Amino acid sequence: MCGIVGIVSNKSVSASIISALKKLEYRGYDSAGISTLINGQIKEQKCSGRVDNLEKILFQNPSSGDLGIGHVRWATHGVPNQVNAHPHSSEAVSVVHNGIIENSDTLRNEYKDKGYSFKSQTDTEVITIMLTDFLKQNDLINCIHKTLKKLEGSFALGIIFKDYNNLVVGARRGSPLAVGYGHNENFIGSDSYALKSMTNKISYLDDGNFCILYKEKVEFYNSDKKKINKEIFELSYEDNTAEKGDYRDFMSKEINEQSYTTKKCINEYLNTSKNEINILNLPLEAKKIRKIRLIGCGTAYHSCLMAKYWIEEFTSLDVDADIASEFRYRRIKLDPNDLYIFVSQSGETADTLAALEKCKKNNLKTCGIVNVLESSIARNSDLVLPIHAGPEIGVASTKAFIGQLTVLYLLTLKIAIDRKDISSEEYSKLILDLRNIPDLIEETLNKQKDIQEIARDFIKAKGTMYLGRGLSFPIAMEGALKLKELSYIHAEGYAAGEMKHGPLALIEDGMPVIVLAPKDRFYEKTISNMQEVIARGGKVLMITDDTSETMSENIRFKFQIPKTNSSINSFLLTIPIQFLAYHVALLKNCDIDKPRNLAKSVTVE
Ligand code: F6R
């Protein structure tokens, strides 16, 4: 998604803006641009494609201003070309925007009637025109305030003005914006990660508010243009693992970190001497919870689905998993005795955040499971449970998924023991099994070569299916999502029992099919479904902990995962499905860390 940077300093800012934009590249984007103020004139430079292209433009035609704004754009309104790239400037102002202005068509017509003309197809340009118009008869504060009041939709903005040569303005509604404090310079950025190399002192602009950055101070205003104070946080550098090191790409690094991710997460939550899970202050006492609702998008939704199976397995609670974009608009009977759990790596996903806000408005009890602790979901949840995965840069979520599973599993066991739904003996055994998981993940990670071999089968495939039953079904869904997003091959994740109800018609000679068949209580049924696929010519990649040779002659390839408690096979099944997507994408020369059309942090609806 789009990323914003703004800097006011006592030195030239363009190099710092470029390096902050590079930090935002992971979000996914298709064009980039920068505006600086030089000798009282706005200089705008932008291009389609990567920040590297913009850097080349700046190399040939350097910008020396000591204040400026920069942007990486993920197209929503208008194709990703140079004209639609941000900033959008008039002679008087230059604007970068993240979000969607929902009334842009109406505003466009209104300002066209006033005699203004538009250069781009974007919704953002109306902001430029409105600011330019209001500036004619208003001071700075009133100009910003009046402009923001007319906008509908979501936005984070960075603005510079020709006639105000000592300041940068930031504003937000819906989309996040961080403010960073330096020595004789101050910053805005779409997230604190973009600013991390320049400062660790951060504030977060509240919804509806705006700020004015000067090099020696930052002023904050609420939606009634009243000056307000803001708390400053110090970010820790502890998890500064956002470098690729010797890895080819971030995704392979992040896949390989998953043993560490689970270990760290378990250590953070488990008091080993007492065998207790440190999840305190649940917003609803475990015994009093009526139902649990889990909400997320994409991979985070698959974590929710996994937790649904766990909660059903170990507690007597009713549970539902929902896709956030559906949950936010459904006429769900919201109940104050239910616990609402929001899962999000970034903590900024627009739909998940809106679903959380819906719950907050109804005074419901909420819990956020996030990776980014400073995120909006973390700040708005009654209880925050971090996954401790460190920065995840590859667009395809891997180590965050494993982190989410770890926290959700621990939360399930905590609720189960507090409600006395499981005995203390069973609880101790389950904890012991979980503590072995990091080593078993490590063992599975070492078998990457096996998957590398089989990946060739998928390069020319028209499509593929991932089949699983029970606790393996959410991982089948996740496997299909990973393959789709990374290698652009159509893939479906299906409950194996559903095959006969339609999808079996897709199976034809040579079609690769992935079957997740750990030896759990669903094993025999899954094997029957697998036989039906083989009988119709499907080439099966079976992922299992079954060591017997029974099926060997019929299946194309068997990937062996280590044996563990059948409720947590999902941790181990995850590794080969991630490797498979990775290696197919690699063979197809796809951009592993930045798949086409996708964004890391989906801050628009
Ligand atoms: C897939 C993927 C996405 C995200 C989804 C939610 O690999 O990364 O499906 O899981 O966009 O993002 P977060 O977790 O940041 O809310």
The residue whose CA has the least distance to atom 9 of ligand 1 is 298
pLDDT at 125 > cutoff 80? yes
Give the residue extent of every domain in the chain: 3-237, 245-435, 446-600
**Among 2, 265, 304, 359, which one carries the catalytic annotation?**
2
For residue 482, the ligand 1 atom closest to its alpha carbon is 7
| Class of the CATH domain delimited by 3-237 | alpha beta
Q: How far apart are CA 43 and CA 265, in angstroms?
A: 47
pLDDT at 552 > cutoff 70? no
pLDDT at 169 > cutoff 90? yes
SS (H, E, C) 484-546: HHHHCCEEEEEEHHHHHHCHHHHCCCCCEEEEECCCCCCHHHHHHHHHHHHHCCCEEEEEECC
- Rounded average pLDDT over 288-317: 98
What local confidence, expressed as pLDDT, does residue 239 receive? 47
DSSP annotation of 561: P
Beta strands 41-48 and 67-73, pairing class: unpaired
Distances (CA, A) of 247 to 185, 257, 483, 593: 34, 11, 20, 12
| Share above pLDDT 90 across residues of the chain, in percent, rounded to a whole number | 80
The CA-based angle 326-464-519, given to 5 degrees, is 85
What local confidence, expressed as pLDDT, does residue 219 receive? 97
pLDDT at 588 > cutoff 50? yes
Q: How far apart are CA 486 and CA 509, in angstroms?
A: 25
The residue whose CA has the least distance to atom 6 of ligand 1 is 297
297 lines ligand 1 (CB under 6 A): yes
Task: Report the Cα–Cα distance between both ends of the chain, in Å, rounded.
Answer: 11
396 lines ligand 1 (CB under 6 A): yes
369 lines ligand 1 (CB under 6 A): no
What local confidence, expressed as pLDDT, does residue 453 receive? 87
What local confidence, expressed as pLDDT, does residue 174 receive? 75
- Rounded average pLDDT over 300-321: 98
- Rounded average pLDDT over 131-137: 97
- Give yes or no for a contact between 31 and 122, defined as CB atoms under 8 angstroms apart: no
The CA-based angle 10-158-69, given to 5 degrees, is 45
The alpha carbon of 38 and the centre of ligand 1 are apart by a number of angstroms equal to 40
The residue whose CA has the least distance to atom 11 of ligand 1 is 298
The alpha carbon of 350 and the centre of ligand 1 are apart by a number of angstroms equal to 11
Could you tell which of 602, 603, 604, 605 is best to mutate to test the pocket of ligand 1, judged by most ligand atoms within 8 Å of the CB? 602
344 lines ligand 1 (CB under 6 A): yes
Looking at per-residue pLDDT, the higher value among 206 and 91 belongs to 91
CB atoms within 10 A of CB 490: 14
Nearest to residue 399, comparing CAs of 411, 387, 410?
A: 387
**pLDDT, mean over the chain:** 93
pLDDT at 386 > cutoff 70? yes
The alpha carbon of 302 and the centre of ligand 1 are apart by a number of angstroms equal to 10
Single-letter amino acid, residue 57:
I
pLDDT in tens, 402-418: 999 999 999 999 999 99
Q: How far apart are CA 381 and CA 319, in angstroms?
A: 19
- Rounded average pLDDT over 355-380: 92
SS (H, E, C) 452-477: HHHCHHHHCCCEEEEEECHHHHHHHH
- 3-class secondary structure, 36: strand
- Give yes or no for a contact between 32 and 85, defined as CB atoms under 8 angstroms apart: yes
- Rounded average pLDDT over 471-496: 97
Active site residue 447: no
CA dihedral 487, 491, 495, 499 (to 10 degrees): -150
Task: At 586, list the tokens.
Answer: 């690699």
For residue 296, the ligand 1 atom closest to its alpha carbon is 16
Fold that domain 446-600 belongs to in CATH: Rossmann fold (3.40.50)
Could you tell which of 377, 397, 574, 578 is best to mutate to test the pocket of ligand 1, judged by most ligand atoms within 8 Å of the CB? 397
Q: How confident is the model at residue 551 (pLDDT cuts 50, 70, 90)?
A: low
The alpha carbon of 300 and the centre of ligand 1 are apart by a number of angstroms equal to 6
- Rounded average pLDDT over 375-380: 88
The alpha carbon of 126 and the centre of ligand 1 are apart by a number of angstroms equal to 30
Q: How far apart are CA 119 and CA 125, in angstroms?
A: 8
For residue 345, the ligand 1 atom closest to its alpha carbon is 14
Distances (CA, A) of 605 to 98, 189, 231, 479, 601: 12, 20, 29, 24, 11
pLDDT in tens, 486-524: 999 999 999 999 999 999 999 999 999 999 999 999 999
Q: How confident is the model at residue 236 (pLDDT cuts 50, 70, 90)?
A: low
Single-letter amino acid, residue 42:
I
Task: At 27, list the tokens.
Answer: 């979000």
483 lines ligand 1 (CB under 6 A): no
Task: Please provide the CATH number assigned to the domain covering 245-435.
Answer: 3.40.50.10490
186 lines ligand 1 (CB under 6 A): no
pLDDT at 427 > cutoff 90? yes
What local confidence, expressed as pLDDT, does residue 542 receive? 96
Q: How far apart are CA 502 and CA 490, in angstroms?
A: 17
For residue 299, the ligand 1 atom closest to its alpha carbon is 10
pLDDT at 123 > cutoff 50? yes
Q: How far apart are CA 175 and CA 98, in angstroms?
A: 7
CA dihedral 163, 168, 169, 175 (to 10 degrees): 140
Q: How far apart are CA 98 and CA 158, in angstroms?
A: 9
The alpha carbon of 377 and the centre of ligand 1 are apart by a number of angstroms equal to 14
375 lines ligand 1 (CB under 6 A): no
For residue 400, the ligand 1 atom closest to its alpha carbon is 14
Q: How far apart are CA 554 and CA 231, in angstroms?
A: 64
pLDDT in tens, 11-54: 999 999 999 999 888 777 889 999 999 999 999 999 999 999 99
CA dihedral 200, 206, 210, 216 (to 10 degrees): -30
Active site residue 600: yes
Cβ burial 75-98 (10 Å sphere, 16+ → b, else e)? bbebeebeebbbbbbbebbbbbbb
For residue 404, the ligand 1 atom closest to its alpha carbon is 14
Q: How far apart are CA 351 and CA 295, in angstroms?
A: 10
pLDDT at 350 > cutoff 80? yes
**Among 22, 264, 365, 600, which one carries the catalytic annotation?**
600
pLDDT at 550 > cutoff 70? no
| Matching fold, domains 3-237 and 245-435 | no
Q: How far apart are CA 413 and CA 256, in angstroms?
A: 26
pLDDT at 237 > cutoff 60? no
CB atoms within 10 A of CB 157: 28
